[in-house]
């Protein structure tokens, strides 16, 4: 190694070809500005410590290294790594040196030097089936897309308001089942669109990244029990608030459930929207995307509380009295907290979706029975 001015030159004349290639990849991955020569390279003096750490790493000295990504996509070597780190003697030796999926599954990638597996590995492999959404307590394998979440929600609200206004201009009433249906469809389009764009831009492109996987049999039992607990809890909250406020202050005429059940068509629309549509799209957005983004930034506990507050606030409707606002927020926020806990505990949306659906179904059943 020689030093000249503001740069440092490293000689590689005594290095084997595979080691040179490994170092080249590590330098590129660490975003170090390198001037390559025939058998040497130069780097800025300011990055000397980083280069020394990478050189030590390749020589077997523990040192922090930037995350490694694959540089080759050819067929992985057939050698099998034993627990002791040895290589099967029958392993092929014609596979070129490069980064390949770790056969020991201790990391994402392991360096194959052309004849054997080495101790040089890439970042640790994430937990299986965790996907894009972070495992509990893990902020590294997590969702991105906070801006998309805000844009999707605001865009959905604006689109919903726009189509409702058009419907009213065309003769529909503000609380008709048609207005309810098209308004919710427009809102869901915004929420779903944000989720889809987020997983396409930052994830694998599949909504599985947000925890949307096929419902399991246990989800129905978990969700039904959680919904009953939530209903009992919100009933207790409602009784307390009735004692504090007058009943007239808490009841409101802005809810579509007051009129949506006057016909068979209205009842069907109400059930589809409240029992099926809302649980699917709201869980995907709030517990999938929003909670994932918040978990990445602030950790699981803050994320659960923050998304629950947001979930309560978005249920505000223009025209509510103070008592109605307090009642709505006091009942919805704890439910959002429970749904967030289910998402965190089971690492999928299924239990929360069933809880949400059963919780709403109980309310719809009571409403339709009393109209």
pLDDT tens for residues 113-142?
777 778 777 665 444 433 445 555 555 444
Is position 187 within any domain? Answer: no
pLDDT, tens only, 57-115: 666 543 333 333 333 333 344 333 333 333 343 444 456 777 776 666 666 677 777 77
b/e map 255-287, b = 16+ CB within 10 Å? ebbebbbeeeebbebbbebbbebbbbbbbbbbb
pLDDT band of residue 22 (cuts 50, 70, 90) is confident
Boundary-marking domain end, from 31, 58, 85: 58
Question: Could you tell me the two tokens for 313?
Answer: 């606030």
Residue 170 lies in a domain: no
Residue 41 lies in a domain: yes
Helix (H) or strand (E) holding 279: helix 278-282
What's the rounded Cα separation, in Å, for the pair 68 and 204? Answer: 19
The DSSP string of 206-270 is: SGGGGT--PPPHHHHHHHHHHHHHHHHHHHHHHHHHHHHS-HHHH--S--GGGTGGGSHHHHHHH
* 223 in any annotated domain: yes
Average pLDDT, the chain: 77
Tens-digit pLDDT profile for residues 319-348: 777 777 888 888 999 999 999 999 988 888
Q: Residue 7: inside a domain, yes or no? A: yes
Residue 47's domain comprises: 2-58
- Domain contains 234: yes
Phi (first) and psi of residue 102, to 5 degrees:
-65, 120
Could you give the 3-state DSSP secondary structure of residue 290? helix
**What predicted TM-score, i.e. pTM, was given to this entire model?**
0.61
Is pLDDT above 60 for 9?
A: yes
Kindly report which listed range (6-15, 61-70, 155-164) carries the lowest average pLDDT score.
61-70
Among residues of the chain, what percentage have pLDDT more than 90?
28
| CA-wise closest residue to 29 among 62, 71, 91 | 71
Of 12, 43, 58, which residue sits at a domain end?
58
Q: How many domains does the chain have?
A: 2
295's CB contacts (< 8 A; 6+ apart) are: 133, 134, 139, 142, 143, 303
Which pLDDT belongs to residue 78? 39
Q: Would 307 be classed as within a structural domain?
A: yes
Q: What is the pLDDT of residues 189-247, one digit of tens each?
A: 999 999 999 988 887 788 988 889 889 899 999 999 999 999 999 999 888 888 877 65
**Is 96 a member of any domain?**
no
What pLDDT score does 252 carry?
Answer: 55
Residue finishing a domain among 15, 42, 58 = 58
Q: DSSP state, 134?
A: P
| Residue 257 pLDDT level (bands cut at 50, 70, 90) | very low
Is there a contact between 307 and 340 (Cβ–Cβ < 8 Å)? yes
């Amino acid at each position: 190694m020689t030093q000249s001015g503001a740069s440092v030159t490293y000689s590689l004349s005594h290095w084997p070809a595979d080691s040179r290639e490994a170092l080249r990849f590590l330098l590129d991955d660490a975003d170090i500005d390198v001037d390559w020569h025939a058998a040497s390279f130069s780097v800025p003096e300011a990055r000397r410590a980083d280069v020394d750490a990478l050189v030590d790493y390749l020589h077997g000295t523990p040192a922090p290294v930037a995350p490694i990504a694959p540089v080759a996509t050819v067929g992985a070597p057939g050698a099998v790594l034993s627990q002791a780190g040895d290589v099967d003697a029958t392993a092929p030796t014609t596979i070129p040196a490069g980064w390949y999926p770790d056969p020991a599954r201790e990391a994402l990638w392991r360096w194959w030097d052309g004849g054997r597996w080495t101790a040089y590995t890439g970042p640790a492999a994430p937990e299986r089936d965790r996907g894009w959404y972070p495992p509990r307590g893990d902020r590294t394998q997590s969702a991105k897309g906070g801006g998309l979440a805000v844009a999707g929600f605001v865009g959905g609200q604006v689109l919903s308001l726009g189509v409702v206004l058009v419907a009213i201009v065309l003769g529909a009433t503000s609380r008709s089942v048609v207005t309810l249906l098209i308004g919710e469809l427009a809102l869901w389009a915004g929420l779903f669109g944000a989720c889809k764009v987020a997983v396409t831009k930052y994830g694998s492109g599949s909504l599985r990244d947000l925890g949307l996987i096929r419902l399991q049999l246990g989800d129905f039992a978990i969700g039904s029990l959680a919904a009953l607990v939530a209903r009992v809890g919100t009933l207790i909250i409602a009784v307390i608030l009735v004692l504090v406020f007058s009943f007239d202050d808490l009841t409101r005429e802005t809810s579509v459930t007051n009129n949506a059940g006057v016909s068979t068509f209205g009842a069907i629309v109400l059930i589809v929207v409240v029992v099926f549509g809302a649980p699917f799209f709201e869980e995907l957005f709030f517990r999938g995307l929003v909670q994932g983004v918040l978990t990445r930034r602030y950790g699981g506990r803050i994320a659960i509380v923050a998304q629950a507050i947001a979930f309560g606030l978005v249920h505000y409707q223009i025209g509510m009295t103070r008592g109605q606002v307090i009642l709505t927020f006091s009942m919805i926020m704890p439910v959002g907290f429970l749904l967030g806990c289910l998402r965190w505990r089971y690492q999928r949306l299924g239990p929360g979706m069933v809880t949400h659906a059963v919780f709403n179904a109980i309310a719809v059943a009571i409403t339709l029975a009393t109209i």
